[in-house]
Amino acid sequence: MRGHRIFIMVIGFDPSRYTSYYTVQWALIYLVILKLYEINSDLQNLMKSLPEG
């Protein structure tokens, strides 16, 4: 997951540059995106496990 590393680099680079609201907002957006990826992969696994036809 390259995006994960980039996100940490950006946020961890200089937190004092951002307001806490801005950082929290991006953290929430990031968590939602992660959750969507999880749900998507779960759905794909479910589809694979279902019998064909």
Domain assignments of the chain as residue spans, ordered by start: 2-49
pLDDT of residue 2: 53
Phi, psi dihedral angles at 11 (to 5 degrees) = -70, -40
DSSP symbol at 19? -
Q: Is 12 helix (H, G, I), strand (E, B) or coil?
A: helix
pLDDT of residue 35: 92
Q: Per-residue pLDDT tens, the chain, 53 aa: give them.
A: 455 565 555 655 555 665 666 777 788 888 899 999 999 898 888 888 887 75
This model's pTM is above 0.85: no
In whole angstroms, what is the distance from residue 18 CA to residue 14 CA? 8
In whole angstroms, what is the distance from residue 39 CA to residue 45 CA? 10
Q: Is 38 helix (H, G, I), strand (E, B) or coil?
A: helix
